[in-house]
């Protein structure tokens, strides 16, 4: 047998909670790569946030050795993929490094939108797909139903596909054997010029950037000069090796068909973009892998330190995160309301939440995040075109010849019972119905064109609440369309607050403005005077609420026994005030700036 | 020579009121308590040695639950150990349900010259709801008896912002009290405390008068008291001229006081200390300060001066700049004027001839004002 014949490179595709991480753990266990005792729960997801949210943010890979029933020992390279729509591109690159994929479907839930989208990506990459029906230990498992669904919806043969319980370990052997028999071995040319696909990278303070690669052709070893074909950066390879469940294990070389890593004293992950091709600088391959894209932020928000003095700390923290996250962009921004901060660009809302959470947790920063915005395309009356990602830069209506906003193609899968509510939601969010079809007797797939602007607020939450958590969503960008956009300003105590402005479609401006005014009223504590809250478009007030003045806040009794207590009480009240942001003469808590995000009444 | 006030805590009552979170035990026999108190008073001599005692306040609980002879022995002991001035103000708190003429004359004989009676409301339904043990009629009898026994300095406690209380109901209580012509009135807004029957009631907050009504209630009460010669001298206290409570003024002037009995608090110089709320521990050995002490800390100048400002702003006379500056060697205006400015502009703080004071509207939002101007960081 040839060396490559004993290699199997594959990914696992699954919806959140369908058991991807658990299955990966069982595979590690079954291949004796890790003993149960050694295994921290769900080894592959090793960031805290990942473990808590049950999702994988960055791709991971691991090499396992499996002794198959044919007596041969196979090398499995399991490449884990992120499972969220924000990271679609990363998924497609991870899949590009494989010959096959396990499609994990929950026997009690069936196929979800995200799974479907990733399966199509896998099919586009010509991957061999092995359906794995999971959670068969649950009483409500419907193995045959799910098998039929896989055949009907995806159109792949599910006869004889493994039905397992990753939780109990039942039938895991079937999966391992299926990987050996069904997934094709790699077939690269070891003697051709070097050609590797980068499917992930991360910054390590000792080695510099560690680049995860799949070698398609040729060989790579330390000392070799390599070139990134898209960024054109060149580096001398310091080390190559493989990913064991316990960390990196250096080897002499990696050859065609292998999955592994290389280090080359690279200082910035921006030089090692996912999807780029690594080749021999002296003897380059003729063509790079197709489909390389620069990570494009789609959602923008201002991030400010609660304590203005922490601005340099925030900058350092963002720079550290960017070492590992080429998709994160940021540039300094100043707000009258919030002081010095950064305008940050993200792949999507989840990416934004993850970054904000990491900044707060790992760097101990207290942050104020403004409402996210998308990039608008403005054609001015004089014909110039500008892309605007910050509402405060949005021109006044008389300067605009045409305003356009990004549109996405959205696919929603839901039990048919909730379709009515979902269609209503999509209509409220200015969705244009494309088509819908039954996936099986009870579940439907809907296609809509929706403005991205409407999705980045609370669409996902609203979708979940209107479908009792069953509906799933996937979307991809589908260009710009002209739209009646206006800038909605929020005035507190008659002063406009720049950090609260946002862009909205003219038709929903009134409803939005009213809801925001109401939400702000709930969020702003009473002051010593009445505070009017107004929503306005170009100087015209369209909604008003009032925070009534605080008239009574007094401790009736203060004798000997009350003095220490009273001091503590006032100190606490003072601490509360310190968190507040001063906007002119009024004080508001930092959450105020996010209040405009949670507006769906159905919640 | 310095003076000091004595607070003597009697942690017993017939039954706990639904709103009360003071340390007090219902239905326990107070036998032996006065003897224990006397031992503690004696053991604390180092705190009051060489100082004049010009106020004694016997509070509770319900001090009038004790046999009057006990009160007499306690006061005799105080006089024996401490230098009590001849015209010292000596107050006892009394519950209308527990008073009779024998007790009252015994108090007089013991030298008590001020009586504080808890009425709370002149509405029997409200009294029942507060789980008070007395009726309006019993209050009236106690009050008139006290007058007959020669008490010429009587305080009446009133509470407002009670569950289901209307403006009109409170007005009746105010009119009734004005009619009784006490020398002093304490007028407290009900505060719902966590570990009380009121605090545990899930819907209590919905039964309280709304904020605007509470403000009207307070403003109206001030007007009623004003009209019958009871001048406001503190956020919740009103008195005829010369009848302000000397003992309580010690708290608000940040002057020395020492407390005896479980749960009592003291401030001697910059030392703040309090005893655990544990009657059994106290009865075991009332002289074992190490075992009994709960909080015990010495304030920095920063803390003592901040506390001074916090307390002085409770008074109608407000902060005396001269007194503050000389007591703490600091400059009040340098430290506070800029921070007070927005409140001065809004007429929540006014300049007086001695310093600065909260207006009535300022008093009503005093927590907010103080939380803004006071500085706890340097404490």
pLDDT in tens, B201-240: 989 999 999 999 999 999 999 999 999 999 999 999 999 9
Size of interface A-B (CB pairs under 8 A): 101
Residue A563 with chain B: CB contacts under 8 Å? 251, 265, 267, 272, 307, 311
pLDDT at B339 over 70: yes
Look at residue A436 in the predicted model and tell me its pLDDT: 94
Chain B residues near residue A528 by CB distance under 8 angstroms: 343, 346, 348, 365, 368
A560 touches chain B (CB under 8 A): yes
For residue B193, the chain A residue with the least C-alpha distance is A555
Taking 80 as the threshold, does the pLDDT of residue A601 lie above it? no
Sheet holding A277-280, edge to edge: A234-236, A225-228, A277-280, A195-204, A208-217, A259-263, A239-244, A247-251
Interchain contact, B364 vs A560, CB within 8 Å: no
> What are B215's two structure tokens?
């403000």
pLDDT at B108 over 60: yes
Which residues, at least 6 apart from B126, have a Cβ–Cβ distance to it below 8 Å? Answer: B120, B162, B165, B169
Contact B236 A556 (CB under 8 A): yes
Nearest to A556 among B189, B211, B306 (CB): B189
Is the CB of residue B293 less than 8 Å away from at least one CB of chain A?
A: no
- How far is residue B41 CA from its own chain's centroid? 21
Q: Which residues pair with A203 in a beta bridge?
A: A209
| A57 band by pLDDT with thresholds 50, 70 and 90 | very low
Answer yes or no: is pLDDT of A323 > 80.
no
Instruction: Give me the residue label for tokens 């998709």.
Output: A327
Give the pLDDT band (50/70/90) at residue A48. Answer: low
Strands A100-106 and A128-134 turn out to be parallel
pLDDT at position A158:
87
From first CA to last CA, the distance across chain A in angstroms is 60
How does DSSP classify residue A165?
B
Among partner residues A554, A560, A577, which is closest to B364 by beta-carbon distance? A554
Contact between chains at A551 and B314 (C-beta distance less than 8 A): no
Q: Which of A47-51, A97-101, B321-325 has the lowest mean pLDDT?
A: A47-51
CB of A36 within 8 Å of a chain B CB? The answer is no
Return the residue in A526, A547, A548, A560 with the most chain B beta carbons within 10 A, the one to mutate for interface testing: A560
In contact, A89 and A295? CB cutoff 8 Å: yes
Give the pLDDT confidence of A193-226 residue by residue, as tens digits: 999 999 988 888 888 999 999 999 999 999 999 9
* Residue among B7, B264, B370 whose CB faces A570 most closely: B370
Q: What pLDDT is recorded for position B192? A: 92
Distance CA B304, CA B256 (A): 12
**A552 to B211: CB separation less than 8 angstroms, yes or no:** yes
Structure tokens at B220: 């109206």
Of A172, A199, A169, residue with least CA distance to A66: A172
Q: Which of A552, A569, A570 sits opposite B364 (nearest CB)?
A: A552
Interface test with B, best of A527, A567, A578 (most B CBs within 10 A): A567
Return d(Cα A266, Cα A270) in angstroms, integer: 10
Work out the minimum CA distance from B377 to partner chain A, whole angstroms. 9
Closest CB to B368 among A550, A556, A561: A550
- Does the complex come out with an ipTM higher than 0.90? yes
Strand partners, A330: A344
The separation between the first and the last C-alpha atoms of chain B, rounded to the nearest angstrom, is 29
Check if B366 contacts A (Cβ < 8 Å): yes
Chain B touched by A526 (CB under 8 Å): no
Q: A562 Cβ partners below 8 Å, 6+ apart?
A: A555
Angle at A552 between CA A550 and CA A553, to 5 degrees: 95
| Residue among A551, A555, A564 minimizing CB distance to B367 | A555
Chosen for mutation from B218, B371, B372, B377 (greatest number of chain A CBs closer than 10 Å) is B371
pLDDT bin (cut points 50, 70, 90) of residue A602 is very low
Q: Could you give the CA distance from residue A50 to residue A48 in angstroms, rounded to a whole number? A: 5
Beta strands in A389-518, from DSSP E residues, in sequence order: 400-415, 432-438, 443-451, 472-482, 485-492, 495-496, 502-505
Partner B contacted by A206 (CB < 8 A)? no
Chain A, nearest residue to B370 by Cα: A570
Q: Does B345 touch chain A (CB under 8 A)?
A: no
Q: Does A574 touch chain B (CB under 8 A)?
A: yes
A159 pLDDT higher than 50 = yes
Provide, as residue numbers in chain A, all residues whose Cβ is less than 8 Å from the Cβ of B372. 574, 577
What pLDDT, in 10s, does the model give residues A454-508? 888 778 888 888 888 778 788 888 899 999 999 999 999 999 988 888 898 998 8
Statement: residue A603 has pLDDT above 50: no
Q: CA of A449 to nearest chain B CA: how many angstroms apart?
A: 47
Q: Does B214 touch chain A (CB under 8 A)?
A: yes
Of A76-85, A148-157, B25-34, B42-51, the range with the lowest mean pLDDT is A76-85
Q: Which residue of B235, B264, B306 is in closest CB contact with A554?
A: B235
Yes or no, beta carbons of A561 and B263 under 8 Å apart: yes
Give me the residues of B, 21-40, that contact A with CB < 8 A: 22
Radius of gyration (C-alpha) of chain B in whole angstroms:
21
- Of B85, B72, B66, the closest CA to residue B28 belongs to B66
Rounded Cα gap, residues B361 and A299, in angstroms: 48
Q: Do B310 and A550 make contact, defined as CB atoms within 8 angstroms? A: no
pLDDT at position A595: 67
| Of B34, B2, B27, nearest in space to B12 by CA | B27
Structure tokens at B242: 């010369």
**Interface contact B342, partner A, CB < 8 A:** yes
Contacts with A574 from chain B: Cβ below 8 Å? 371-372, 374, 376
Q: Is the four-CA dihedral B129, B158, A561, A526 of positive or negative sign? A: positive
pLDDT mean over B189-205: 91
CB contact under 8 A, B265 and A561: yes
For A329-348, what is each residue's pLDDT tens digit? Answer: 999 999 888 889 999 999 88
Are A554 and B272 inside 8 Å of each other by CB?
no
Which residues from B are below 8 Å from A569, CB to CB? 367
Comparing A385-394, A572-581, B3-12, B218-227, the range with the smallest average pLDDT is A572-581
Chain A positions touching B314 (Cβ under 8 A) are: 558
* Cβ separation B215–A558 shorter than 8 A: no
Using the beta-carbon criterion (under 8 Å), do B274 and A555 form an inter-chain contact?
no
Q: Could you tell me if A197 and A167 are in contact, meaning their C-beta atoms sit under 8 angstroms apart?
A: no
Mean pLDDT of chain A: 87
CA contacts within 13 A on the Cβ side of A244: 11
Q: Would you say A315 and A365 are in contact if contact means Cβ atoms under 8 Å apart?
A: no
Locate A498 and state its tokens: 């720049």
pLDDT greater than 60 at residue A319:
yes
Q: Say whether residue A563 is in contact with chain B using an 8 A CB cutoff.
A: yes
Q: Residues 230 to 269 of B: which have CB under 8 A from any A CB?
A: 235-236, 248, 251-252, 257, 259, 263-267
């Amino acid at each position: 047998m040839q060396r490559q014949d004993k290699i199997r490179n594959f990914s696992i595709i699954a919806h959140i909670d369908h058991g991807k991480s658990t299955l990966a753990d069982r595979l590690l266990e079954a291949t004796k790569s890790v003993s149960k005792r050694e295994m921290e729960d769900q080894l592959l997801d090793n960031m805290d946030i990942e473990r808590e949210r049950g999702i994988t943010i960055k791709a991971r890979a691991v090499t396992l050795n499996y002794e198959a029933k044919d007596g041969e020992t196979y090398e499995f390279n399991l490449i884990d993929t992120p499972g969220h729509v924000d990271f679609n591109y990363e998924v497609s690159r991870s899949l590009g490094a494989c010959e096959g994929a396990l499609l994990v479907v929950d026997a009690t839930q069936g196929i979800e939108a995200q799974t479907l989208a990733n399966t199509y990506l896998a099919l586009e990459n010509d991957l061999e797909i092995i359906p794995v029906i999971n959670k068969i230990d649950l009483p409500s498992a419907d193995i045959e139903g799910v098998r039929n669904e896989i055949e009907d919806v995806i159109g792949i043969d599910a006869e004889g596909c493994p039905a397992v319980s990753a939780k109990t370990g039942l039938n895991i052997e079937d999966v391992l054997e299926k990987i050996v028999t069904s997934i094709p071995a790699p077939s690269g040319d070891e003697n051709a010029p070097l050609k590797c696909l980068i499917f992930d990278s991360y910054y390590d303070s000792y080695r510099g950037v560690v680049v995860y690669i799949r070698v398609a052709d040729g060989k790579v070893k330390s000392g070799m000069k390599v070139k990134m074909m898209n960024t054109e950066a060149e580096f001398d390879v310091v080390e190559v090796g493989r990913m064991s469940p316990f960390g990196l294990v250096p080897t002499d070389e990696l050859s065609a068909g292998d999955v592994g890593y290389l280090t080359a004293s690279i200082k910035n992950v921006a030089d090692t973009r996912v999807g780029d091709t690594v080749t021999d600088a002296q003897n380059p391959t003729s063509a790079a892998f197709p489909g390389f894209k620069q990570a494009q932020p789609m959602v923008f928000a201002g991030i400010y330190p609660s304590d203005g003095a922490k601005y340099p700390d925030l900058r350092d923290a963002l720079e550290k995160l960017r070492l590992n996250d080429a998709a994160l962009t940021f540039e300094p921004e100043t707000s009258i309301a919030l002081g010095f901060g950064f305008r940050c660009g993200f792949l999507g809302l989840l990416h934004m939440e993850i970054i904000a959470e990491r900044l707060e947790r790992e760097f101990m920063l207290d942050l104020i995040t403004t409402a996210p915005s998308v990039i608008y395309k403005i054609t001015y009356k004089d014909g110039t075109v500008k892309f605007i990602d910050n509402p405060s830069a949005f021109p006044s209506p008389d300067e605009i010849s045409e305003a356009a906003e990004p549109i996405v193609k959205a696919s929603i899968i839901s039990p048919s019972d909730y379709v009515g509510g979902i269609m209503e939601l999509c209509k409220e969010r200015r969705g244009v119905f494309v088509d819908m079809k039954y996936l099986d007797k009870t579940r439907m797939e809907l296609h809509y064109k929706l403005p991205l602007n409407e999705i980045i607020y609370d669409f996902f939450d609203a979708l979940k609440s209107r479908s009792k958590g069953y509906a799933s969503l996937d979307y991809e960008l589908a260009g710009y369309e002209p739209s009646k956009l206006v800038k909605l300003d929020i005035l507190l105590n008659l002063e406009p607050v720049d950090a609260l402005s946002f862009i909205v479609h003219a038709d929903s401006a009134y409803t939005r403005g009213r809801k925001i005014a109401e939400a702000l009223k709930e969020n702003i504590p009473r002051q010593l005077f009445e505070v009017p809250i107004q929503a306005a478009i170009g100087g015209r007030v369209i909604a008003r609420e009032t925070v009534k003045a605080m008239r009574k806040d007094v401790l009736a009794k203060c004798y000997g026994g009350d003095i220490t207590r009273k001091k503590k009480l006032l100190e606490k009240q003072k601490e509360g005030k310190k968190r507040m942001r001063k906007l002119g003469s009024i004080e508001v808590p930092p959450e105020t700036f996010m209040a405009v995000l949670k507006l769906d009444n159905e919640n | 020579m310095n003076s000091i006030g004595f607070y003597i805590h009697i942690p017993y009552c017939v039954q706990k009121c639904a709103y009360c979170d003071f340390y007090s035990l219902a239905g326990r026999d107070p036998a032996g308590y006065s003897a224990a108190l006397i031992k503690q008073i004696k053991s604390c001599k180092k705190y009051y040695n060489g100082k004049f005692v010009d106020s004694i306040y016997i509070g509770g609980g319900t001090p009038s639950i004790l046999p009057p002879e006990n009160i007499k022995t306690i006061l005799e002991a105080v006089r024996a150990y401490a230098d009590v001035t001849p015209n010292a103000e000596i107050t006892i708190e009394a519950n209308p349900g527990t008073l009779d003429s024998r007790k009252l004359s015994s108090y007089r004989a013991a030298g008590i010259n001020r009586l504080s009676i808890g009425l709370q409301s002149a509405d029997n339904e409200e009294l029942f709801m507060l789980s008070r043990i007395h009726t309006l009629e019993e209050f009236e009898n106690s009050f008139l008896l006290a007058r007959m026994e020669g008490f010429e300095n009587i305080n009446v406690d009133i509470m407002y912002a009670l569950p289901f209380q209307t403006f009109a109901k409170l007005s009746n209580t105010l009119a009734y009290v004005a009619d009784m012509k006490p020398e002093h009135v304490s007028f407290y807004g009900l505060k719902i405390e966590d570990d009380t029957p009121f605090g545990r009631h899930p819907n209590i907050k919905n039964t309280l008068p709304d904020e605007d009504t509470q403000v009207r209630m307070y403003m109206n009460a001030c007007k009623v008291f004003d009209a019958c010669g009871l001048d406001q001298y503190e956020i919740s206290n009103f008195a005829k001229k010369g009848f302000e409570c000397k003992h309580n003024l010690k708290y608000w002037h940040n002057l020395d006081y020492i407390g005896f009995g479980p749960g009592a608090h003291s401030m001697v110089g910059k030392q703040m200390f309090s005893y655990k709320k544990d009657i059994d521990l106290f009865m075991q050995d009332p002289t074992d300060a190490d075992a009994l002490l709960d909080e015990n800390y010495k304030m920095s100048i920063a803390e003592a001066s901040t506390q001074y400002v916090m307390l002085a702003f409770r008074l109608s006379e407000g902060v005396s700049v001269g007194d503050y500056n000389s007591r703490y060697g600091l400059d009040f205006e340098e430290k506070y004027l800029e921070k007070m400015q927005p409140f001065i502009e809004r007429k929540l703080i006014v300049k007086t001839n001695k310093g600065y004071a909260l207006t009535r509207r300022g008093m009503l939002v005093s927590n907010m004002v103080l939380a803004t101007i006071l500085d706890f960081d340097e404490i």
